[in-house]
């Protein structure tokens, strides 16, 4: 991560396990269709359960009360250039469930917000040179398949279906939405992914909870160190 004029672009991940970062999400309870598959790598358990709410609106502001009570993922480490080193900027990711789907809130802090790169505006654009976050979700943790969802500070979206450990399909266009904007301390994003897109159906109140795998990668073009 760098503050030079070329502004290299590091990847920061939530915890590094081999190639990707995986968390178990002991969140809600789900009815699992028999043909649904997802994910890769060994899951790491989160200490608490996610919340289920009906009180959210998709505007990117993350001011709804449900976000304040949701558990936070903050243990981000570098994948490049110093693998395993703490991220130079603070990042917070939270998950909330609703009847509509899975909600993801992202707080990407940046001490130099003027340097945040956000050139892309359209759906399925190449976000490779923009600041962006990618979340990989694996509802059934079969270590092979899953879904990728990316958003940049403009709210430009791109996605893919993970077909196996080495291949993904960028032709896949899932139904989902997101909003994002700059703040005085960086940028933040709000994402809604319908359960149908994830090929999953939640059962609220069921006592048994499934484990999900998740990989979260933040790409930042303006960082304090390398």
Q: In this structure, are residues 55 and 65 in contact, taking their beta carbons and an 8 Å threshold?
A: yes
Q: Is residue 113 in a domain?
A: yes
Domain count of the fold of the chain:
1
pLDDT of residue 176: 97
Q: Is residue 5 in a domain?
A: no
Q: Is residue 22 in a domain?
A: yes
Instruction: For residue 192, give the CATH number of its domain.
Output: 2.60.40
pLDDT of residue 52: 65
Measured between alpha carbons, how far is residue 93 from residues 68, 123, 143, 149, 171 in Å? 12, 22, 22, 14, 27
**pLDDT (mean) for 103-128:** 94
Q: Is residue 166 in a domain?
A: yes
pTM of the model: 0.77
pLDDT of residue 214: 83
Report which DSSP code applies to 67. H
**pLDDT (mean) for 152-178:** 91
Domain that holds residue 211: 11-219
21-62 residue pLDDT tens: 233 333 333 333 323 222 222 233 333 345 666 778 999 999
Q: Is residue 210 in a domain?
A: yes
Q: Is residue 128 in a domain?
A: yes
Between 160 and 30, residue with greater pLDDT: 160
Q: In the predicted model, is pLDDT for residue 12 greater than 60?
A: no
Tokens of 175: 């139904």
């Amino acid at each position: 991560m760098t503050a030079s004029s070329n502004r290299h672009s590091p990847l920061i991940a939530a915890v590094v396990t081999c190639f990707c970062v995986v968390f178990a999400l002991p969140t809600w309870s789900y009815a699992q269709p028999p043909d649904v598959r997802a994910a890769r790598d060994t899951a790491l358990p989160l200490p608490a359960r996610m919340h289920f709410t009906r009180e959210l609106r998709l505007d990117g502001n993350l001011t709804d009360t449900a976000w304040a009570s949701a558990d936070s993922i903050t243990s981000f480490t570098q994948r490049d250039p110093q693998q395993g080193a703490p991220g130079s900027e603070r990042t917070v990711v939270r998950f909330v469930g609703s009847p509509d789907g899975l909600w993801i809130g992202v707080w990407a802090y940046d001490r130099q917000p003027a340097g945040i790169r956000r050139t892309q505006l359209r759906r399925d654009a190449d976000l490779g040179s923009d600041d962006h976050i990618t979340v990989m979700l694996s509802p059934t943790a079969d270590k092979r398949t899953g879904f990728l969802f990316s958003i940049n500070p403009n709210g430009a979206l791109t996605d893919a279906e993970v077909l196996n450990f080495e291949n993904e399909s960028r032709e896949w266009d899932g139904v989902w939405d997101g909003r994002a904007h700059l703040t005085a301390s960086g940028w933040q994003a709000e994402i809604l992914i319908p359960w149908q897109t994830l090929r999953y159906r939640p059962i609220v109140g069921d006592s048994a909870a499934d484990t999900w795998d998740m990989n979260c990668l933040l790409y930042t073009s303006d960082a304090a160190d390398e």
